């Protein structure tokens, strides 16, 4: 599954494709993602950045094994060939009678934002969820991640009741996945 979007504003090219969870590209993007969201949390709640030992401990604890095939996938977005962001999808089973996938690790590097990649990455993740057999996709996020929450709302995700108890999960979203034609 690969999506490429060539935009008219000067032939800018985005590509989203599956990536091995343990690849150097995935590891570097995960570290950038976790550093940003962790620092943002600690700055808001404790007035400090993430301590290096905290960062290393949390990165080591989040292996990404839940995104391995055949029940998951990690996608990497590239902008003009440069790794720009990630999205992960994992099959969870049935929820409220619908086969459900979870969306995780949605992230674009700060300098890549505002260039149209987030919508493309989200669409590719939804396609990956459909390919896993999902009929709906869920996610959790934090209240302070207002940009992410706005992205999900723009793309048809609706706020939901909590679907599980998780540290840092302050709001939940769900979207029914309409089968694609073809």
Of 72 and 178, the structure prediction assigns the larger pLDDT to 72
| Residue 167 pLDDT | 65
Strands 98-108 and 136-141 come out as parallel
Predicted TM-score (pTM) of this structure? 0.87
Backbone angles phi, psi at 73, to 5 degrees: -155, 145
pLDDT on residue 128: 97
Residue 102 has pLDDT above 60, yes or no: yes
Report pLDDT for 5: 43
Least confident of 10-14, 85-89, 135-139: 10-14
The string over 160-181, giving b where at least 16 C-beta atoms fall within 10 Å of a residue's C-beta and e elsewhere, is: beebeeeeeeebbbbbebeeee
pLDDT digits (tens, 9 = 90+) for 134-153: 999 999 888 888 888 899 99
């Amino acid at each position: 599954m690969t999506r490429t979007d060539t935009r008219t504003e000067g032939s800018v090219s985005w590509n989203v494709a599956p990536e091995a969870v343990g690849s150097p590209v995935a590891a570097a993007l995960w570290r950038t993602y976790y550093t940003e969201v962790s620092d943002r949390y600690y700055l808001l709640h404790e007035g400090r950045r993430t301590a290096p030992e905290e960062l290393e401990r949390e990165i080591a604890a989040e292996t990404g094994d839940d995104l391995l095939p055949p029940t998951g996938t990690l996608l990497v977005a590239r902008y003009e060939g440069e790794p720009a962001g990630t999205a992960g999808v994992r099959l969870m089973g049935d929820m409220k009678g619908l086969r459900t996938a979870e969306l995780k690790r949605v992230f674009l590097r700060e300098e890549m934002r505002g260039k149209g990649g987030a919508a493309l990455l989200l669409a590719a993740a939804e396609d990956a969820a459909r390919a896993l057999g999902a009929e709906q996709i869920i996610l959790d996020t934090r209240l302070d991640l207002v940009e992410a929450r706005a992205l999900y709302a723009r793309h048809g995700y609706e706020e939901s009741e909590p679907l599980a108890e998780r540290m840092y999960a302050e709001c939940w979203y769900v979207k029914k996945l309409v089968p694609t034609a073809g």
